Copies of this chain bind each other. A is one copy, B any other.
Amino acid sequence: MNEVLPKFDSTFSIDCVVFGFDEGELKILLIERNEEPFKDWWALPGNIVGENESLDQSAGRILNELTGLSNIYMEQYYTFGDVNRHPQGRVVSIAYYALLRLGGDKAVKPISTYAKKANWIDVKDLPKLAFDHKKIFETGLEKIKRRIKHQPIAFELLPEKFTLTQLQNVYEVIGDKKLDKRNFRKKMLSFGILKDLEEKQQGVSFRAATLYKFDKRKYAKLFGKEISF
């Protein structure tokens, strides 16, 4: 930065790819737009960054307005800045993905005041999206596909207590590949980052599975050692 700050018509926004996992399906939250441009189109939730907000704060706010939840797991992953990506002017958009637990106790219902309509939609069955949101989504999906191989993000998509089969399911759906049950369990348990809760699933037909939770402390101690799926 070698000049005094020049100003021209430009601004920046956040767009969020909010992933949720439910019954073996990976979904994202889409909203139906109420305003031009792209009125009535489906779009990623997003908004302009406030004057006194950091990017992370802004993303957190958007997610909170949309879901009522705070402390959602969230990572910034790429910034989209093509000149003409927004028909009304230069808008650079910083993209975040968020991961959240759909299944389990409480289902997440998008808050209707945020947009005309908001729905969970299976990533395999997405409608056309406004702006360059298709590209933003695809980049985000690629990102979590890579990241799940080396970082413990799968747990963010599951309820706190989960079964090994559920966990395997997350890996299978995101990696788009069936995995061997015995090998999956052996490897996953070998990392030593799961805590056996010595507790069984409730309210299922048929044999109940053992519940586990992700052990953050033990994961932190791996420091440096790579986990790899």
Contact = CB atoms under 8 A, between A and B. Distances in A.
Interface of A: 1-13, 33-35, 43, 46-49, 51-55, 76, 78-83, 86, 88-92, 94, 115, 228
A6 B11 contact: yes
A35 B88 contact: no
Contacts of A6: 11, 48
Nearest to A10: B11
A8 B13 CA distance: 13
A90 B12 CA distance: 11
Contact of A48 (B3, B43, B49, B55): B3
B115 A2 contact: yes
Nearest to A80: B55
Contacts of A88: 4-5
Contacts of A91: 1, 5
Given A3-B35, A10-B11, 9 more contacts: A2-B34, A4-B35, A5-B48, A7-B9, A8-B51, A55-B81, A76-B79, A92-B92, A92-B94
26 contacts: A1-B43, A1-B47, A2-B34, A2-B115, A3-B35, A3-B48, A4-B88, A5-B86, A5-B88, A6-B11, A6-B48, A8-B11, A8-B51, A12-B12, A12-B81, A12-B92, A49-B81, A52-B83, A55-B82, A55-B92, A76-B78, A76-B79, A79-B79, A79-B94, A81-B94, A92-B92
Given A2-B33, A115-B2, A51 B81 contact: no
A34 B3 CA distance: 10
A27 B117 CA distance: 51
A13 B35 contact: no
Nearest to A114: B2
B10 A12 contact: yes
Contacts of A49: 81, 92
Minimum-distance CB pairs A-B, first 5: A55-B81, A79-B79, A54-B82, A8-B51, A79-B94
A2 B14 CA distance: 12
Contacts of A11: 5-8, 10
